[in-house]
Chain A
């Protein structure tokens, strides 16, 4: 059993956009072969991993620390229920509100975790592990058994249950076409957290990097297990390193734009993973809902690679809701910080000689309610929204109206800007079922995902090339022929800057 030494000094400095506080703690060096639980398809029911210790181990401290890396989930966060067995009785961590602490590492090799991440309890009483979370989840014993607390003296089994059929948060009730869970498991320790958030020396209970998959039981509530366990290969580990390195690196900027999604990966960060695996990971990072549309990562777009998205008429089921969507979470922490931005912009090509359309729906994670809030170009009374475009081939800049979806004119190739003033919460999301408060506040809340959605019936067989989804920070004008003191969209792209 390895001893782990780490202490946390929660600093008061707040990262205002993400709601994260800064602290530090030192951790032992990372192990090379964590266990991986992965479910590429759709879970038929909740699935549970259970590890029975060789012998019951005495509990020290006041909390359990579970070290994981959440590589992929088709929801922004994966609800996981944790429990321990003590003296033959199961104790469950469960609360329906509030947060627990999670301490994230800034790199795979980091000896100190510097970010404290509030992990949200959802309404079902399970803890949500955010996409790309790599660090220690602190589970206070006082929160065991629905917050009643439990004075457990030992632990004989540790289990975690992964929630199936996570709702996509769309009014249609769609769930993701696949659940796409992939969680790296490192270890579990007992720790002591004091009132100031300082974490005292810990005792390790389970080291998953030393275990084989057969050491863990994997069951499903339906009896049909979809997920699989495996020990991380070198390639898996390289992928983990790539994701963590990329997640903690700064977003690329271009002019006044901070690119939050470029449909490419940081080649240096993923160098060890190999091109084929990296390409596969990039593809799998995107996930779908609604009707079966098709997407691919292709060469082209603004530069490098881009997203190709098609509503193939051969797949269209006219008897169903016409909606289809491809979604992604942000691969860089900095991409979730939208404070100070004026709007969102995207590079898009419509190769068709007629109109195509899609929506860029944004999801704010309301740290006050713990709910993911959806915003788009819907509005009361179907009011028109105004978009701003710069065609890179003709040099023309223009604004135009749209409604619900972004219209992309025939043969358009260039950038479209949408000020946040055009976004609103759809009416259905403001109902108690969804709990959207309807207030965008990027100083308080992070934005964690984007949905690219289309309607099949008005987009049959039209391919859109989408690239470089970015935040823009400049005050632009649509052209500046009569007032050169203003910045045109092109000026902003070529000469603008992103505020430090």
Chain B
């Protein structure tokens, strides 16, 4: 597999900045903080930031030689109560992508559904009106009023520029996860509505909102929405994304865990990058591989009506090689020949509307993380692994 990755060392540290809604803040690496290197077991990250800051759950859209990389980041070092959605501008030059400084887009609200955590954002370009203003970018993100990110809901924010001022849409989430709605057995912990992924339907205000809902059953859904007027969002149907063709050992009902979606109008394929099922028994209990898939776009509307004639249709087909420990190894460095053991939260770099950039290949950004107890982590921070996430890049060809 051809690995395409580029790194810009943007500094040794980042200043912790109080995230604000409506006041984009440019983080300034360096300052008084000491840069601590993260744990590398394989390929480099696409940008460096000190240990103590998690860089995870990437989402990237690309317009020509400009790329906007959104991700989840804590704004105060070693403080996971300071979630933010940050964006870095990527510039392509000399065969490499170079990423600028992080800009905070949104942070938790003071007292609302997303008062504790904001995470896992995805952004699409289009035309969106809200509060009498016109906006060009729509962000869907997960938020929670719980420190553990559980019972998450999904809300929207808008901006006129990708690295400009982001305005949250309303004070309520668009998808409110209510565990009791689907629960009669008394469980109290659910991830909730997570992993939003936006794809434009018309390059205007109509969008597909893919997401994962984890109640008693874990299901991938897609909503058809007209967000042209965000004061009055028009809901279409909410549809199950069927999962035939996906396999995970030990389950009859595999999931598109942590999936990101892009659409290719030319081939009418829906592409997805998903995490493999978590097999880790120690923290962090996240996936150890990422897989690329494609399905006919018919998957969204197809319903097997009537009596099933023969076997049910198999929708998903794996494409390219998995991204796993082997493929993330850096054989040129004796200290990095084993690759990463925690590989999760993939995204496919798309055009601004969530469409495939080029048929036959796409770039996947994904997250890695150090294991709890890794001796390379500083002893003075017991949970340092929680702040070790990095974002990497690989190219899938098919």
Q: Which residues on A are within 8 Å of B, measured CB to CB? A: 341-343, 353-357, 381-384, 386, 388, 396-403, 407, 409-411, 419-423, 440-442, 458-459, 462, 475-483, 486, 488
Taken together as a complex, chains A and B put the C-alpha atoms of A410 and B183 apart, in Å, by: 9
Taken together as a complex, chains A and B put the C-alpha atoms of A468 and B276 apart, in Å, by: 43
Nearest chain B CB to A329 CB, angstrom units = 22
Q: A388-B303, A483-B301 are in contact. Are A400 and B224 (CB under 8 A)?
A: no
Determine whether the beta carbon of B238 is less than 8 Å from that of A383. Answer: no
* Pick from A353, A383, A384, A421: contact of B304, CB under 8 Å: A421
* Cβ-closest chain A residue relative to B303: A419
* Pick from A355, A383, A422: contact of B253, CB under 8 Å: A383
Determine whether the beta carbon of B178 is less than 8 Å from that of A398. Answer: no
Determine whether the beta carbon of A482 is less than 8 Å from that of B236. Answer: yes
CB < 8 Å A-B pair total: 118
Q: A353-B180, A354-B180, A481-B226 are in contact. Are A421 and B307 (CB under 8 A)?
A: yes
Q: A383-B252, A488-B237 are in contact. Are A476 and B301 (CB under 8 A)?
A: no
Determine whether the beta carbon of B238 is less than 8 Å from that of A486. Answer: no
Determine whether the beta carbon of A402 is less than 8 Å from that of B235. Answer: no
Q: Give the chain B neighbours of A411 by CB distance below 8 A.
A: 181
Taken together as a complex, chains A and B put the C-alpha atoms of A482 and B200 apart, in Å, by: 11
Q: A356-B184, A478-B238, A486-B301 are in contact. Are A401 and B306 (CB under 8 A)?
A: no
Nearest chain A CB to B169 CB, angstrom units = 19
Nearest chain A CB to B86 CB, angstrom units = 32
Q: Give the chain A neighbours of B224 by CB distance below 8 A.
A: 479, 481-482
Interface: B308 (CB within 8 A): yes
| 5 A-B pairs with C-beta separation under 8 A | A396-B237, A410-B180, A477-B301, A478-B237, A482-B236
Taken together as a complex, chains A and B put the C-alpha atoms of A357 and B184 apart, in Å, by: 9
* Cβ-closest chain B residue relative to A395: B235
Determine whether the beta carbon of B183 is less than 8 Å from that of A355. Answer: yes
Determine whether the beta carbon of B303 is less than 8 Å from that of A354. Answer: no
Taken together as a complex, chains A and B put the C-alpha atoms of A482 and B222 apart, in Å, by: 13
Nearest 4 A/B pairs, CB to CB: A479-B237, A481-B236, A478-B237, A381-B252
Taken together as a complex, chains A and B put the C-alpha atoms of A353 and B253 apart, in Å, by: 27
Q: Give the chain A neighbours of B351 by CB distance below 8 A.
A: none
Interface: B185 (CB within 8 A): yes
Nearest chain A CB to B163 CB, angstrom units = 30
Interface: B239 (CB within 8 A): yes
Determine whether the beta carbon of B303 is less than 8 Å from that of A477. Answer: yes
Given A355-B183, A475-B303, 8 more A-B residue pairs with CB atoms under 8 Å apart are A354-B184, A382-B253, A401-B240, A411-B181, A421-B304, A421-B312, A475-B305, A479-B239
> 8 Å CB contacts to A: which residues of B210-255?
216-217, 219, 221, 224-226, 234-240, 242, 252-253
Taken together as a complex, chains A and B put the C-alpha atoms of A459 and B304 apart, in Å, by: 30
Taken together as a complex, chains A and B put the C-alpha atoms of A403 and B238 apart, in Å, by: 19
Interface: B206 (CB within 8 A): yes
Q: Chain B interface residue count: which class?
A: 20 to 34
Q: A388-B303, A483-B301 are in contact. Are A421 and B236 (CB under 8 A)?
A: no
Nearest chain B CB to A491 CB, angstrom units = 12
* Cβ-closest chain A residue relative to B215: A355
Determine whether the beta carbon of B253 is less than 8 Å from that of A409. Answer: no
Digitize B54-79: 1 where CB-to-A-CB distance is under 8 Å, 0 elsewhere: 00000000000000000000000000
Nearest chain A CB to B358 CB, angstrom units = 25
Interface: B338 (CB within 8 A): no
Nearest chain A CB to B174 CB, angstrom units = 13
Taken together as a complex, chains A and B put the C-alpha atoms of A207 and B31 apart, in Å, by: 108
Q: Give the chain A neighbours of B236 by CB distance below 8 A.
A: 397, 479-482
* Pick from A386, A407, A462: contact of B182, CB under 8 Å: A407
Interface: B201 (CB within 8 A): yes
* Cβ-closest chain B residue relative to A409: B181
* Cβ-closest chain B residue relative to A412: B181
* Cβ-closest chain A residue relative to B218: A401
* Pick from B181, B234, B240: contact of A354, CB under 8 Å: B181
* Cβ-closest chain A residue relative to B206: A482
* Pick from A357, A383, A442, A486: contact of B307, CB under 8 Å: A442
Taken together as a complex, chains A and B put the C-alpha atoms of A477 and B238 apart, in Å, by: 10
Taken together as a complex, chains A and B put the C-alpha atoms of A382 and B254 apart, in Å, by: 12
Q: Which one of B183, B217, B305 has the greatest number of beta carbons of chain A within 10 Å?
A: B305
* Cβ-closest chain A residue relative to B242: A386
Q: A354-B181, A355-B184 are in contact. Are A420 and B253 (CB under 8 A)?
A: no
Determine whether the beta carbon of B239 is less than 8 Å from that of A398. Answer: yes
Taken together as a complex, chains A and B put the C-alpha atoms of A310 and B239 apart, in Å, by: 30
Q: Give the chain A neighbours of B238 by CB distance below 8 A.
A: 396-399, 478-479
* Cβ-closest chain B residue relative to A356: B184
Taken together as a complex, chains A and B put the C-alpha atoms of A482 and B238 apart, in Å, by: 12
Q: Give the chain A neighbours of B253 by CB distance below 8 A.
A: 382-384, 401
Determine whether the beta carbon of B252 is less than 8 Å from that of A409. Answer: no
Q: Give the chain B neighbours of A397 by CB distance below 8 A.
A: 236-238
Q: Give the chain A neighbours of B242 by CB distance below 8 A.
A: 386
Q: A384-B253, A401-B217, A477-B303 are in contact. Are A355 and B181 (CB under 8 A)?
A: yes
Taken together as a complex, chains A and B put the C-alpha atoms of A397 and B226 apart, in Å, by: 15
* Cβ-closest chain B residue relative to A403: B217
Taken together as a complex, chains A and B put the C-alpha atoms of A399 and B183 apart, in Å, by: 17
* Cβ-closest chain B residue relative to A417: B303
* Pick from B181, B185, B307: contact of A420, CB under 8 Å: B307
Taken together as a complex, chains A and B put the C-alpha atoms of A381 and B247 apart, in Å, by: 13
Q: Which one of B201, B221, B226, B240 has the greatest number of beta carbons of chain A within 10 Å?
A: B240
Taken together as a complex, chains A and B put the C-alpha atoms of A396 and B176 apart, in Å, by: 14
Nearest chain B CB to A351 CB, angstrom units = 13
> 8 Å CB contacts to A: which residues of B282-305?
301, 303-305
Taken together as a complex, chains A and B put the C-alpha atoms of A458 and B216 apart, in Å, by: 13
Q: Give the chain A neighbours of B181 by CB distance below 8 A.
A: 354-355, 409-411
Nearest chain A CB to B152 CB, angstrom units = 18
Q: Give the chain B neighbours of A459 by CB distance below 8 A.
A: 184
Determine whether the beta carbon of B252 is less than 8 Å from that of A382. Answer: yes
Taken together as a complex, chains A and B put the C-alpha atoms of A459 and B180 apart, in Å, by: 13
Q: Give the chain A neighbours of B178 by CB distance below 8 A.
A: 410
Determine whether the beta carbon of A355 is less than 8 Å from that of B180. Answer: yes
Nearest chain A CB to B201 CB, angstrom units = 5
Taken together as a complex, chains A and B put the C-alpha atoms of A381 and B252 apart, in Å, by: 6
* Pick from B217, B234, B305: contact of A343, CB under 8 Å: B305
